[in-house]
């Protein structure tokens, strides 16, 4: 028979009951605490879908983000144009314009603007940068020919292509015209005269006198076309604008990297209103194409002498009915025609969630 150790107290029915009551009290306290946690209000993290469309600028994206209550538009523009953030994100430019990849995103409401910019740029690195890496010779040629970072030059060309046509099939041909003109030494041709570039400059620098009253929509006015203080004015400045004028999609970037082999130097909107263009090799062909479009074909001023073609209408752009096709007399250096584009739904698959 086992002997009880000295000093040990015998287990009685009363002590067993006390232990059971203590255990029951502990579990009851745990249950009460759990119920209190469940009943306490918890912060709800709402999410929203944001579609960034091909060709949108930082201002367009900012407006959509604010509308979707992701972040204030002002905060996004400040973050997207922050040179320190652009450097930290590995971009070849002082801001993120051109590198905010068009796709469908999911964001928590709200999300800090720098985090939104980082998300869009990270998606660009994942989806667009590999395309540039597969064309090292074209990137090197752009850097050598245009005396700038090759990636920046190609994204800038892609943004011009994106702004100039909504027809996917003719993007490589539009890109060929831009490249052909950049490759020429003729001073009448190296001014690209791309309307969307000039109007974009007024969105970046609205304080310029020539941009007074411009709302961000419509064709450039005569004052805008004549203003050399607008660095994006491709009527007054030779070569490419300082940077992208929007955020191009993959198709436009591919067109800039793989332009169609042509000797076209001009194009004008097709008279059928389809949004496509008529392409010409010589200025005389271009004049005939413009005549088909129904635009006056009086002899234009010589752009080499510094004259600027006037818009076809002297009414303010905001009062003119939007239309496709040229809004001014053609000039030997005029490669483009102003048109109103309908925003397109993003064709890119959803971006990976962060």
Tens-place pLDDT, residues 46-89: 999 999 999 999 999 999 999 999 999 999 999 999 999 999 99
Q: For position 353, what pLDDT does the model report? A: 52
Q: Contacts for 267-272 with beta carbons within 8 Å, 24 or more apart?
A: 267/173, 267/174, 267/177, 267/335, 267/336, 267/337, 268/293, 268/295, 268/325, 268/326, 268/330, 268/337, 269/293, 269/324, 269/325, 269/326, 269/337, 269/339, 271/325
Q: pLDDT exceeding 70 applies to what percent of the chain?
A: 71
Mean pLDDT of 298-323: 33
Q: For position 14, what pLDDT does the model report? A: 57
**Confidence at 337, pLDDT banded by 50, 70, 90:** very low
pLDDT of residue 333 exceeding 60, the answer is no
CA–CA distance, 204 with 342 (Å, rounded to integer): 22
Q: For position 189, what pLDDT does the model report? A: 81
Q: What angle do CA 343, 252, 117 make, to 5 degrees?
A: 70
Contacts of 215 by beta carbon, 8 Å cutoff, 6+ apart: 318
Q: Which of 238-247, 274-283, 319-328 has the lowest mean pLDDT?
A: 319-328
Mean pLDDT of 310-337: 36
Name the residue with higher pLDDT: 155 or 17: 155
Q: For position 187, what pLDDT does the model report? A: 73
CB 46 within 8 A of CB 108: yes
**Confidence at 328, pLDDT banded by 50, 70, 90:** very low
Prediction pTM value: 0.76
**Confidence at 217, pLDDT banded by 50, 70, 90:** confident
Mean pLDDT of 179-206: 90
Q: For position 40, what pLDDT does the model report? A: 65
* Per-residue model confidence as pLDDT tens digits over 249-271: 999 999 999 999 999 999 999 99
Q: For position 341, what pLDDT does the model report? A: 45
């Amino acid at each position: 028979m086992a002997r009880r150790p000295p000093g040990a107290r015998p287990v009685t029915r009363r002590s067993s009951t006390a232990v059971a009551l203590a255990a029951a009290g502990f579990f009851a306290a745990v249950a009460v605490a759990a119920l209190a946690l469940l009943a306490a209000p918890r912060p709800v993290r709402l999410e929203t879908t944001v579609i960034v469309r091909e060709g949108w600028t930082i201002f367009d994206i900012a407006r959509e983000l604010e509308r979707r209550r992701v972040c204030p538009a002002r905060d996004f523009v400040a973050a997207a144009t922050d040179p320190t953030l652009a450097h930290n994100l590995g971009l070849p430019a002082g801001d993120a314009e051109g590198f905010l990849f068009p796709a469908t995103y999911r964001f928590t409401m709200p999300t800090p603007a720098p985090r939104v910019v980082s998300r869009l740029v990270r998606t660009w690195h994942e989806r667009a940068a590999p395309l540039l890496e597969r064309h090292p010779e074209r990137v090197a040629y752009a850097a050598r020919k245009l005396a700038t970072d090759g990636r920046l030059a190609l994204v800038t060309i892609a943004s011009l292509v994106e702004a100039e046509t909504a027809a996917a099939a003719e993007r490589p041909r539009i890109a060929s015209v831009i490249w052909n003109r950049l490759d020429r030494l003729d001073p009448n041709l190296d001014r690209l005269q791309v309307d969307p570039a000039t109007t974009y400059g007024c969105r970046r620098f609205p304080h310029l006198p020539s941009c007074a009253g411009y709302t961000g929509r419509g064709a450039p006015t005569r004052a805008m076309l004549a203003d050399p203080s607008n660095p994006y004015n491709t009527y007054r400045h030779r070569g490419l604008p300082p940077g992208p004028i929007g955020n191009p999609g993959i198709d436009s970037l591919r067109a800039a990297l793989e332009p169609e082999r042509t000797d076209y130097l001009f194009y004008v909107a097709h008279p059928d209103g389809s949004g496509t263009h008529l392409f010409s090799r010589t200025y005389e062909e271009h004049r005939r194409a413009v005549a088909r479009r129904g635009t006056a074909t009086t002899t234009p001023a010589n752009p080499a002498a510094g004259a600027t073609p006037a818009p076809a209408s002297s009414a303010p752009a905001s009062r003119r009915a939007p239309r496709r096709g040229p809004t001014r007399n053609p000039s030997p250096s005029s490669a483009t025609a102003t048109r109103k584009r309908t925003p397109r739904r993003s064709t890119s698959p959803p971006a990976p969630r962060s």
